[in-house]
Amino acid sequence: MVNLRSALVLGIAQICHLGAVQATVSPQRMVHDLQALLSAGSEVMLASNASYAQDFTSRFSESHSPSFVVGAKPKKVSDIQKVVRYASQNNVPFLATGGGHGYTWSLGQLQNAIQIDLGNFQTVEIDTAANTMTVGGAVRIGNVTHDLVAVGKEFRMYGTASDNLLSAEVVTGTGELLNVSATSHPDLWYGLRGAGFNYGIATRLKYRIHPATNKGKVTVINAMFPAALNGSVWEACNSYVGHQPKELSILFAIRFNETLGGISPVGAFIYFGPKEEALKVVKPFLDLKPLYVEVHESNYAEFSSVALYQDVADIGSRKAIDFAPFTLNLYKVDVKNIVNVINYMNSSLTRNNDLKGATLSWAQYPLDGFLRYPVQSSAFAYRDVIVYFSIDGFTPEIAKLPLLDDFGKGLRSLLQLGSGRPDLETYVHFGHGDEGPRSWYSAAKLPRLSALKRVYDPHNLFRWYNPVPTIGH
């Protein structure tokens, strides 16, 4: 008898079957074919080859990460086009990779794929007279900051990175190479800025750069607070809403501290200005009498190595971490609700050792840069976020991951109640993977983004990373 439940299960099984890609070639055959196709200087090998771990970029997170059978490291743009066409013709899924920092669990659906490692695309050209910077598709922010500071320029503070894009060369889902800008393929230009990974592989990107604020010098103030003061800490955060200076970012990490025997909020206040001014600006926090205060004068290229007592830099460069990541956008500081969350965290972590690796992070950026551009200007969905709140369940033992996953989900629901929005909204690059397209891209943008998908990625090859659906909602 086919009851409703088995019909549903069958239906799901069928969808899974349709979704599963049947490669028409073996991994050995792929290596053979791609080696013959690609230009000299390209690398192609089985992922089981001992050289693979050395020559190919590994991932930041091992939890729900993609699995690869073949690694291809193209030398030229035309090689990237060849891999895309080959993979498409043979039904082999692939992922272009840069830094390997994408951690959404949606990537776990990608199995037995080809890794297209963009490691050969790392050129950086800075034109100080024209105020532009042109970079290869795998360049990371850390690869450019030293050079920018050296010539008195900067890249942040003036909107999102995508707001400062001037043009990009992109290999699309049809294998074509397009030069995309406001005047060339303007439809894709909209989608590229905020959702670009859904439409192709960017090989070269040209950005606008700006004179460095405060000559690239920054003051970083770290301060550690006792948990008992957490309510006052959030009140202080709230006092900046609506008038946070554009030079100030407010960060917090809340974790279990063995010495204290409890959780504690640790703040980092990053101010693009002189020390005396910074100390005045963060007075509401210092007035709370933190347990410890540390003041560093640093520069734009190095501040992450001193912020949060070095934790920002330490976490950023680590590899192969197991963690359950959750993030949500807060549009207000609901002190009462956040205190509830902190108390829930306190009681959960105090009672359960397996949860002690859970870290909450608070990122309260100035809105000035985001608000320089209207929300309709690009696919970037949310410009009025007061706090990016992350719940990261780190663990050295993969067996503990489900526990941290449940904890994170529960905490996210609790926080959502005071987010200022009826539905869960998440910055697409911070998403866990279970939020869904409306949450990553906003309902208002989806029809346009789905339509672009059908034009520039008609075979839906770029569908692994918190994807835009092909069918409009």
Ligand X SMILES: *[C@@H]1O[C@H](CO)[C@@H](O)[C@H](O)[C@H]1NC(C)=O
Ligand Y SMILES: Cc1cc2nc3c(=O)[nH]c(=O)nc-3n(C[C@H](O)[C@H](O)[C@H](O)COP(=O)(O)OP(=O)(O)OC[C@H]3O[C@@H](n4cnc5c(N)ncnc54)[C@H](O)[C@@H]3O)c2cc1C
Which residues here bind ligand Y, judged by CB under 6 A? 60, 95-103, 118, 137, 196-197, 201-202, 315-316, 429, 464-465
Q: Is 228 in the site for ligand X (CB under 6 A)?
A: yes
Q: How far apart are CA 362 and CA 241, in angstroms?
A: 14
Binding-site partner at residue 303 among ligand Y, ligand X, none, CB < 5 to 8 Å by type: none
Of the two residues 181 and 232, which places its CB atom closer to ligand Y in the complex?
181
Q: Is 77 in the site for ligand X (CB under 6 A)?
A: no
| Closest by CA position to 118, among listed 103, 134, 140, 133 | 140
Q: Is 339 in the site for ligand X (CB under 6 A)?
A: yes
Q: How far is the CB of 190 from ligand X (least distance, A)?
A: 16
Amino acid in the structure at residue 74: P
Q: Is 140 in the site for ligand X (CB under 6 A)?
A: yes
Binding-site partner at residue 429 among ligand Y, ligand X, none, CB < 5 to 8 Å by type: ligand Y
| Closest by CA position to 103, among listed 399, 364, 392 | 392
Q: How far apart are CA 429 and CA 269, in angstroms?
A: 23
| Closest by CA position to 58, among listed 113, 109, 115, 1 | 115
Question: Beta strand pairing status for 113-117 and 94-97?
Answer: parallel
* CB-based contacts of 472, cutoff 8 Å, min separation 6: 446, 447, 450, 451
Q: How far is the CB of 388 from ligand Y (least distance, A)?
A: 8
Q: Out of 179, 352, 353, 413, point to the residue binding ligand X (CB under 6 A).
A: 179
Site string for ligand X, 21-60 (x = CB under 6 A): ------------------------xx--x-x---------
Binding-site partner at residue 167 among ligand Y, ligand X, none, CB < 5 to 8 Å by type: ligand X
Structure-token match 């983004």, residue found: 449
| Closest by CA position to 160, among listed 330, 444, 378 | 378
* Token code pair at residue 266: 């640790």
Q: How far is the CB of 312 from ligand X (least distance, A)?
A: 13
Element (H or E) spanning 448, and its range? helix 446-456
Angle between helices 27-37 and 77-89 (to 10 degrees): 140
Q: How far is the CB of 289 from ligand Y (least distance, A)?
A: 30
Site string for ligand X, 157-176 (x = CB under 6 A): ----------x-x-------
Binding-site partner at residue 347 among ligand X, ligand Y, none, CB < 5 to 8 Å by type: ligand X
Neighbours of 12 (CB within 10 A): 10
Of the two residues 244 and 249, which places its CB atom closer to ligand Y in the complex?
249
Instruction: Pick the stretch among 77-85, 104-112, 345-353, 368-376 that binds ligand X (CB under 6 A).
Output: 345-353
* Token code pair at residue 44: 């192609």
Q: How far is the CB of 162 from ligand X (least distance, A)?
A: 16
Q: How far is the CB of 210 from ligand Y (least distance, A)?
A: 18
By the 8 A CB rule, do 238 and 155 touch? no
Q: How far apart are CA 434 and CA 427, in angstroms?
A: 13
Q: Which chain residues interact with ligand X by CB under 6 A?
A: 45-46, 49, 51, 122, 140, 142-143, 167, 169, 179, 181, 184, 227-228, 230-231, 257, 259-260, 291, 339, 342-343, 346-347, 350-351
